């Protein structure tokens, strides 16, 4: 995985590679999927949840550039793997389900970094409000059905994203834009 998937795709940060070497992916999938935990595709976990391909989580973590003095949120796509990769790289970590991320923010300390373990069409206000000014967010983005890694920064109460490269990322349909008519 390290040599054939991560490094060949540009994931070379020694901290990221080290964490991905240490945390065993097979511990985050059902018994029946342990043999495919390292394949270069998402592993279905059931109930519409996935363990994203190693390259996706490596790219998300590398783009996030976490700091040991930072607070972070991981919106978990269902496996818990990305949160375990990130945990020792930040001062504090909160892991949220998709449903928790969509719930209204209730004050509290804002975080420096949010990583969404999946692809979204839109960032809900409830999640953007949890991000400190000048805070960063790294996620998969869906545009016209194509997923890519995107990095965003919060400025003047809005988050602006920059797409970084197309890659197959499991879609989190709860973050889809409402469907409607357009002329």
Domain layout of the chain by residue ranges: 2-175
Residues 175, 122: contact at Cβ < 8 Å? yes
Residue 169 has phi, psi (to 5 degrees) of -125, 135
Residues 144, 136: contact at Cβ < 8 Å? no
pLDDT given for residue 183 in this prediction = 67
pTM, 2 dp: 0.94
State the CATH class of domain 2-175. alpha beta
Residues 61, 82: contact at Cβ < 8 Å? yes
Q: What angle do CA 77, 143, 49 make, to 5 degrees?
A: 20
Torsion (CA) 62, 63, 67, 68 in degrees, nearest 10: -30
Q: How many CB atoms lie within 10 A of CB 21?
A: 11
* Distances, alpha carbon 172 to alpha carbons 6, 76, 116, 120, 176, in Å: 23, 10, 9, 6, 7
Residues 16, 7: contact at Cβ < 8 Å? no
Mean pLDDT, contiguous 10-residue spans, the chain (183 residues): 84 94 95 92 92 94 97 96 98 96 88 97 94 96 94 92 93 88 69
Residues 32, 43: contact at Cβ < 8 Å? no
pLDDT given for residue 107 in this prediction = 77
């Amino acid at each position: 995985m390290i040599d054939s998937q991560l490094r060949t795709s540009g994931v070379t940060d020694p901290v990221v590679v080290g964490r991905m070497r240490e945390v065993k992916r097979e511990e985050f999938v059902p018994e029946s999927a342990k043999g495919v935990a390292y394949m270069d595709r998402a592993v279905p976990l059931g109930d519409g949840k996935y363990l994203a391909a190693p390259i996706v989580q490596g790219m998300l973590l590398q783009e996030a550039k976490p700091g040991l003095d930072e607070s972070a949120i991981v919106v978990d796509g269902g496996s818990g793997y990305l949160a375990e990769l990130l945990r020792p790289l930040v001062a504090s970590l909160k892991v949220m389900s998709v449903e928790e991320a969509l719930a209204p923010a209730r004050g509290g300390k804002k975080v420096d970094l949010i990583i969404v373990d999946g692809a979204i069409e839109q960032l809900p206000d409830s999640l953007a409000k949890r991000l400190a000014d000048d805070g960063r967010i790294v996620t998969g983005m869906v545009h016209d059905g194509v997923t890519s890694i995107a990095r965003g920064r919060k400025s003047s109460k809005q988050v602006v994203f920059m797409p970084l490269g197309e890659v197959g990322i499991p879609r989190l349909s709860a973050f889809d834009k409402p469907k409607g008519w357009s002329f």
